[in-house]
Amino acid sequence: MGKKEKVVLAYSGGLDTSIIIPWLIENYNYEVIAMAADVGQGEELDLLREKALKTGASKIYIEDLKEEFVTEYIFPTLKAGAVYEGKYLLGTSFARPVIAKRLVEIAKKEGAVAVAHGCTGKGNDQVRFELAVKALAPELKIIAPWRIWDIRSREDAIEYAQKKNIPIPVTKETNYSHDRNLWHLSHEGLDLENPANEPNYDKILKLTVPPEKAPDKPTYVEIGFEQGIPVSLNGEKLNPVDLIMQLNKIGGENGIGIVDLVENRLVGMKSRGVYETPGGAILYAAHRELELLCLDRDTLHYKDLVAQRFAELVYYGQWFTPLREAISAFVDVTQKTVTGTVRLKLYKGNIIPAGCTSPYSLFDEELCTFGRDEVYNQKDAEGFINLFGLPVKVRALMERRNTEESK
């Protein structure tokens, strides 16, 4: 009997990947190797080892990717100011390439012929995982059970798990779909599938309190940046993971970072989700305040255009592409002077600027003061306006002339 071929499964221990292990064995006769990525989901991942082995995996890798996730994916996206459709801070989107990258590395190490994932055929994550695999290891076969098997719903998946005596973290009554990592927690499904329904925040929120239940007294935070990267909180230097964790706690206590969004999925449909991103919302607000102080007008405005495209690339799963790398290189140049300290007031879901300083500040009080100054000749504005407005004036004269000639 020949040696079995190997497949490496991106394994979370949730409903989908729990049933994929026995399904792969039954349908492909592969040796299944599980890979669980710790991207800050806050769960006891060691419990996954026993579960994966009991359901048929030959071994499991449990990989701590938190620091790589922050420094190589979160911070470049933060520096770009990328927000998808004006609201979504891309929490699920940029976690997928870091997981897929390690999945490929383990597949190569193990000599696997294939990788597998538990993403559905309706979602964005299938694209994100598979584009990363195609970019990093185009020779690997990709197996996506949700596009193949007879299971057609989460209810069907629950029944399959119960039939196989596989313990799962949900029931048919608590069947929200969640994705959690260091950056955010998402909620989809059940009553959220109807955009007319107001979310029951008391029922679904895990990281954040509803704004009306936040303290009546504001909380102040002070964030230090070096070249666009957050490095300190309230005067204390912190490593990237700890900084985000502390901001999640502070933001969550103040009702910060709740987003209810009907978004355009890459596959063509609209979906509705509720996202909790307390620390991320604070960092985006702080970073923006510092850029407003330190970037010149043309660079800031052009970077805003680039940010939208960057967000699309991340959302679409195009992290490992020349365009994303090129935009990141541009962003890094813009961030050379984005160094300083930002103070924010957090109050019942609101993030309110409370002061910003930088050695690279372009704000000149003497230039913009309403008081008397000796550096700005207001008469110069007349010539500027005459030249700037010349095309408008010429067109107006032409229209008047044509109107008079037609009478």
What is the pLDDT at residue 52?
Answer: 93
* 85 in a structural domain: no
* 75 in a structural domain: no
Instruction: CATH number of the domain at 305, please.
Output: 3.90.1260.10
What is the pLDDT at residue 170?
Answer: 64
Residues 141 and 251 in one domain: no
Tokens of 254: 């103040």
Residues 379 and 282 in one domain: no
What is the pLDDT at residue 375?
Answer: 81
Which alpha helices (DSSP H) does 223-352 contain, by range? 240-253, 278-294, 297-315, 322-334
15 annotated to bind ligand? yes
Residues 258 and 383 in one domain: no
* 327 in a structural domain: yes
* 79 in a structural domain: no
* 404 in a structural domain: no
What is the pLDDT at residue 46?
Answer: 75
List Cβ neighbours of 258 (8 Å cut-off, separation of 6 or more).
201, 205, 208, 210, 211, 274, 275, 276, 349
φ, ψ (nearest 5 deg) of residue 169 = -85, 5
Among 175, 209, 224, residue at a domain's last position: 175
* 86 in a structural domain: no
What residues are annotated to the active site? 16, 96, 125, 177
What is the pLDDT at residue 175?
Answer: 66
* 313 in a structural domain: yes
Residues 243 and 320 in one domain: yes
CA distance 213 to 158: 35
Instruction: CATH number of the domain at 57, please.
Output: 3.40.50.620
Residues 274 and 255 in one domain: yes
* 406 in a structural domain: no
150 annotated to bind ligand? no
275 annotated to bind ligand? yes
What is the pLDDT at residue 169?
Answer: 66
177 annotated to bind ligand? yes
Please check whether residue 175 is in contact with residue 189, taking contact to mean a CB–CB distance below 8 angstroms: yes
Residues 55 and 155 in one domain: yes
Residues 378 and 278 in one domain: no
- 112 strand-pairing partners: none
Domain count, the chain: 3
Residues 140 and 193 in one domain: no
186 annotated to bind ligand? yes
Residues 305 and 394 in one domain: no
Residues 245 and 387 in one domain: no
- pLDDT (tens, 9 = 90+) of the chain, 407 residues, equals 568 999 999 999 888 899 999 999 999 999 999 999 999 998 778 789 999 999 999 999 999 999 999 999 999 999 999 999 999 999 999 999 999 999 999 999 999 999 999 999 999 999 999 999 999 999 999 999 999 999 988 789 889 988 888 887 665 555 678 899 999 999 999 999 999 999 999 999 999 999 999 999 999 999 999 999 999 999 999 999 999 999 999 999 999 999 999 999 999 999 999 999 999 999 999 999 999 999 999 999 999 999 999 999 999 999 999 999 999 999 999 999 999 999 999 999 999 999 999 999 999 887 776 677 678 888 999 999 999 999 999 999 999 999 999 88
Among 140, 175, 210, residue at a domain's last position: 175
Please check whether residue 83 is in contact with residue 90, taking contact to mean a CB–CB distance below 8 angstroms: yes
Residues 226 and 324 in one domain: yes
Among 175, 209, 240, residue at a domain's last position: 175
Domain that holds residue 375: 368-399
Q: Is the pTM of this model over 0.85?
A: yes
Residues 160 and 21 in one domain: yes
160 annotated to bind ligand? no
91 annotated to bind ligand? no
12 annotated to bind ligand? yes
73 annotated to bind ligand? no
How far is the first Cα of the chain from the last one, in angstroms, to the nearest whole number? 97
